[in-house]
Structure 1
Amino acid sequence: MLMPRPVTPHALASPVSASSWWWPLVIFVLGTPLWLQLWEPTLFITINQWCAPLAAEFWTGLSLLGNGWGLLAVTAPLLVFAPRLMVAWLCAAPFAVLFARTGKFFIESPRPAAVVDNAQMRVVGELLHNVSMPSGHTLTAFAVASGIYYALTVAQRRRHWWLLVLAAGTGLSRIAVGAHWPGDVAVGASLGLLAGLLGHQVWIRLPSTQFAPTAWGVRIAAVLVALSIFHLVTEDLDFAENHRAQMVLTVVAVTSLLIYLWRLLASTFQKK
C-alpha cells in the first residue's frame, strides 16, 4: 500500500521555535487584569489622555495599519519585491477574520464611549458604543505583522522586530482614538499573534512555485490590492483624517500594481 508523502516545509521557510507558540498565551494571561476590566475606566482614561497631545492624524494613521484595505495598500510593494511575504500574511488573514468575528459575535461588551463621560476622553471619528472585544484592528495588525515576521529567515527576524512594534502602535492607537479598552487591545494582540502563527503553518506547506508572479496566490493578492485602491479613493477608511494618508497609499498601491502587471506580462510572453 502506498504511504502518503509527508508534508515538509519549503526551502524558503525558517523554523518557528516552540516558545513562539507560548507568546499568545503569555500575552493573554498577563492581560487578565485588563480584559477583566479590573483597572477600568481609570487606565483607559489615563492612556487616552496621555496620547492626546499628539495630532489625531498620527493615531488615525497608525489605526489604518489595522484596516484590511489599508494594509493591502501598505504591503502592495511586496507584490514586486517579496511575493512570498505577501502570500504569508494573506495566509494569516482568514484566521484573523475568524477570531475577530467570533469574539464580537459572542461578547457584547460596551465601548469606552458608552461607559466613560465623553468629556473625560478624546474621541476621534465616529462615536462607537458596542462590540468592543476584541480589538479587530489590533488583531489584524498583529496577524499581518507576525505572518510576515515568521516568514523571514531567523537572521532577518532580528532586524525586523519593528513589525511587531508597529502592530503594538496600532493597538495603542485604538485607545488613543477612544475606540477600545486596553483589555480589548491585549486580547487582540494575543489572538493576532496566534493567527499569524497558524497562517505560517499554512504558508510553509505551500510549494515555493506559489510565490512566482504567475502563481494564482500572487494573482489573487494583486486583485485584492486593486480592490484596496478602489476603497482608498472612494471612501474614508475609518477616519476622515486619513484622507491624505490614503492618497499616498493609493500612489504606492497603483505603482506597485502596475510594476507587478508589467512583470507578469513580461513573464507570460517569455514563456511563449
Structure 2
Amino acid sequence: MTNDKTAVGRRIKTLRQANHFSMATLATMVGVAGKSTINDWEKGRTRPHGERLVKIAQALDTSVNFLQHGDLKDYVFNVLKDDGLNNPEFNVLLWEYVDLTTTNPGILSGDVFNSQSHEQGKNVVSTNIDPIIDTAINQVLPAVLRDFSASAYPEPSAVINSACDRFRKRIQLIRRTFTGKYNRIIRLLDNVDLYEKLGDDPALAHYLNAATDVTGGYDIDQNYQQKMNALITTFHQQLNDINADYQAALKKQRQTKTNSTL
C-alpha cells in the first residue's frame, strides 16, 4: 500500500497546529534547516522518511504509523481498497458479497467498463464501482478492526485474511436469506439475454435447420424463444413484486417498532 504524500502532510499540519507549534519550531525540533521543509511536507510536495519521520512523530506525540496511514480504521480501509483488490481471494469474495447484497443488475455488467475512451472508461468505473466497493468494505470494517489492536498496525496480508474470513461468513449466512436467494435468481436471469434481436439470421437459420433436421427448425426455434422470453419476463416481474412486498413488510415493522418507542 502506497502512502499519500498529501494525506501525510495534512496530518503533520493538523498535529502541529494542535500542539501550537510554528513551522520554525517544528523544524528545530526535527532538525531540518528551516520552515520551508516543513511547508513542503505539509503541502504534500515532499514526504519525510526514516529518522525524520520518527522525530516528527516524537515531536507531535504520535506514532509513525499514524503519520503514514492515519488512524487504524483509515489504514485497514485503505489496505482493503488498495491491496485487497489485487488479492484474488479477496476480489472473488468481495464481488460475491456485492452480488448477494445489491439489486442493481448493471453493477457488474460489462457495460460499466465500455466507453468511448480509456480516460472516460476510468471515470465511468470510478463513478459506478467505487461507491459499491466502499460500501461493501465498510460493512465488514468494524468486525475486521476487532481483530487488531490500535497500538500496532497489522501487516496488509493479515488485514486481507481477516476481511476474507468476514466476507466468507457473511456470504454463507446471506445465501440462506430471502434477499440472498432473490438476488442470486435475479443475477441468473440477468445473464440470459432475453432481448437479443430475434428475426432474420441466415447463419443461425442454416445451423438450426441442419441441427434439427427439419426445414422449419429455425422458425420453430424463434417461436419458442419468444414464449420462453415472455415466461422469464413474467417471472422476473413476479419476483420483483414479491421483493417489493418483502421490503414493505420490513418498513412496516420498523415503523411499528419506532412508534412503540415514542
TM-score (norm 1): 0.27
Q: Which has the higher contact order (CA 8 A, sep 6+)?
A: 1
